[in-house]
Amino acid sequence: MENNGKHSVGIIIIMSLEEVSEKCLISKGILPLNAHVHGCTTPPCLLPQLQDVVIDVIFEAPRTISNMTTLATAILNFIIEVDFPYDLQANSVTCNFFTNTFCPVLQGEIVQYRLNMFIESVFPVNTVATVEFKVRDNEAGEDIWCVRVPIRILPPQPAAASDSLPALLTAE
């Protein structure tokens, strides 16, 4: 009975993942247990320039891992499909962005991770692409998980009203 409950939850999580993300084609990494792209409920995810896209990921560590790197690849479809690796800079240090644990992670540990990617102004507005995000075990040289997210780039958005609320509250 307990196993049936676990399988049911797994099916629900996978269905949730497939709404906005899909299994990777470039990487051999598996889908994580869950991936949530902030502000995106249906693909393509609309990503404004000059802002971070934030993806909360939950995955199970397949083995004890001490050193991981997050990598992103944008896939653009011109006449042919072209892959562009995107440097996440400081955001590529996976262990720095765990929200419930720290490195090393142990085999079977459920890890919560917040992935951030800044959308540079060099990405032209209305660009439609797919981005593969993956985490690689640096010691084993293997991809741990990977998600593929369809996106469209938007122009920069004005600051949210809540960003200026403290200034309004302190104004005389």
The ranges of the chain with pLDDT < 70 are 1-25, 159-172
Q: 166: which residues sit within 8 A by CB, 6+ positions away?
A: none
Q: Does residue 16 fall inside a structural domain?
A: no
**pLDDT at site 138:** 97
d(CA 48, CA 36): 17
Q: Is 163 contained in some domain?
A: no
Query: Would 88 be classed as within a structural domain?
Result: yes
Question: Residue 25's pLDDT is what?
Answer: 67
DSSP annotation of 50 = T
Q: What residue numbers bound the domain in which 129 lies?
A: 21-157
CA distances to 63, 92, 95, 111 from 11, rounded to whole Å, are: 23, 30, 28, 19
In this predicted model, what pLDDT tens digit does every residue of 124-145 receive, in sequence order?
A: 899 999 999 999 999 999 999 9
Q: Which pair of tokens denotes residue 157?
A: 């958005």
Report yes or no on 81 lying in a domain.
yes
User: pLDDT at position 169, please?
Assistant: 43
Please give the pLDDT value at position 20. Answer: 60
pLDDT of residue 21: 59
Question: Would you say residue 7 lies in a domain?
Answer: no
Q: Is residue 1 part of a domain?
A: no
Residue 109, burial from CB neighbour count under 10 angstroms (0-12, 13-18, 19+) = middle
> What confidence score (pLDDT) does residue 81 get?
84
pTM: 0.77
97-115 pLDDT per residue, tens: 999 999 999 999 999 999 9
Which stretches does DSSP call E strand in the chain?
A: 34-37, 45-48, 52-60, 68-77, 81-86, 110-118, 128-137, 142-154
CATH of the domain at 58: 2.60.40.770
Domains held by the chain: number: 1
Residue 13 lies in a domain: no
pLDDT at residue 78, rounded to an integer: 76
